[in-house]
Amino acid sequence: MKVALVTGASRGIGQATARQLAQSGSHVILTARRPETLEAEVERLNRDGHSASALQLDVTDRDSVQRAADHVAAMYGHLDVLVNNAGVLPEVANPDPAEVVDLEMFRITYETNLIGAVAVLEAFLPLIRKSEAGRIVNVTSTMGSLTDQTNPDSPYYGTVVPAYQSSKAALNNVTIALAKALTETPVKVTSVCPGFVQTDLTPINRDNAPTTADQAAEVVVRAATLPDDAPSG
């Protein structure tokens, strides 16, 4: 049985992704800062005949990340799928920005969206290397696209959340670099944008987004289950 791990799996895209991976036959490790928020979903998945477990993992706490990696190493010895899903967009709800470029917003955003993702990659990559067909999926956003940000015809042209946008652009770069470094291995690394999704990422997503979490998760799961001849990066 393949082993998959999803960060930020207590709700939204992360929870839906974990559910679909479990339904596809993988053992799925749902992670979150507070593991008690995972209990109901893990119980539901196991009750329905799937295989799932919960694990505490705070991407902004390096010790927490390493403890989680040590646990997976001890329990399973490898990891087949890693979904870097945990993310934040605090700029939208910031009532009193210092400026358009607000240092505190950058710190908070990068701590999760970039540094946290890299911490997870560093800790779990040795386990992914032990998989016969490892898959790493970084959940990103088209809002991080430099092309879209400078194209007046793009629906994202008028969006100005620089901490979030630059954090996702940086994560895309990490994807490319990591894919190149792993070219001679069976590991595939991809970035995916699941779209504007009905989640709690911002105050407007839940009521205004056209895409459900389940629909968004299908995009992530496709990347997590790429065939061996698929491109990486």
| Catalytic residue set | 164
CA atoms within 13 A on the CB side of 145: 15
> Which strand (E) or helix (H) includes residue 81?
strand 81-84
Rounded Cα distance between 233 and 174, Å, is: 9
DSSP structural state of residue 16: H
| Strand partners of residue 138 | 84, 191
The DSSP annotation for 134-183 comes to -EEEEE--GGG-HHHHT-TTSTTTT---HHHHHHHHHHHHHHHHHHHHTT
Q: Are strands 135-139 and 81-84 parallel, antiparallel or unpaired?
A: parallel
